[in-house]
Amino acid sequence: MACVHFIGGEKGGVGKSMTARVLAQYYIDHDRAFIGFDGDASHKTFSRFYADYASPVIVGDDESMDGVLMAVEADPERDLIIDLAAQSSQALGRWLDETDVFALLDELGARVQWWHVMDDGADSVALLQTLLKRLGDQPVSVVVVQNLGRGESFERFRQSEACRQARAQGAQLIELPRLHAKLTQKIDFNDSSFWAVANDRRLMNIAERQRMKVWLRQAYRELDDVVAPSPEPASNIGEA
């Protein structure tokens, strides 16, 4: 059964692309097949960092978005990771409704997991409430990603009505650990995969490689709780 991961959050700068990248690296390190769809033209997560797994998609172009459904039909064993752009919910919602995408994916035997990536601001909390209302009783599981790289404390969120509602609807809450700021910048300027950062001496010094490995271990522990385990998980972090 394929799983289609929509990595959203609607707000810009909350770490959607970072989440998509670490999820992609998790799949690679656990030897799991996937296709990465670039829905955010400004970041091009998969084209830049994981080109071998990349497929473009244009949110707002129905023919382009239909490629997601075609990919599921063509290879029902391969999961999809879709990195969504900020402020794309209106165009995406129209495609979802007009095509009844969730019902179709359910018919195809595919699971849908919607990732709401958030910072610690009030906007992210309000957007989560909007998302939960929209999804309603659709056959979709929700993952709320509290990105510690974009917020110091999520205590206000945890005490909010949005958090209570999310838990009531079965959403899973995880934390994406903070990655060293200078290392994050260096990664982006080098267009490097997380594997390369953790292992390539030509790119990073020993301390930077170690920070990357520690961060991946922490992130993977969180992902283990929400991504169904592979039959034979890899023992080491880092596949090219």
Domains annotated for the chain, with CATH where assigned, are 3-180 (3.40.50.300)
The pLDDT score that the predictor gives to residue 42 is 73
- Say which residues have a Cβ less than 8 Å from residue 229's Cβ, sequence separation at least 6: none
Q: What region, left, alpha or beta, does residue 82 occupy, with left being phi > 0 and alpha being psi -120 to 50 degrees?
A: beta
In the chain (240 residues long), the average pLDDT of successive 10-residue segments reads 93 94 96 90 82 84 92 94 91 94 96 97 97 94 97 95 96 96 88 92 94 97 83 43
Pairing between strand 172-176 and 111-118? unpaired
Q: Write the CA distances from 169 to 66, 162, 222, integer angstroms.
A: 28, 11, 20
The pLDDT score that the predictor gives to residue 191 is 85
The pLDDT score that the predictor gives to residue 151 is 92
The pLDDT score that the predictor gives to residue 228 is 67
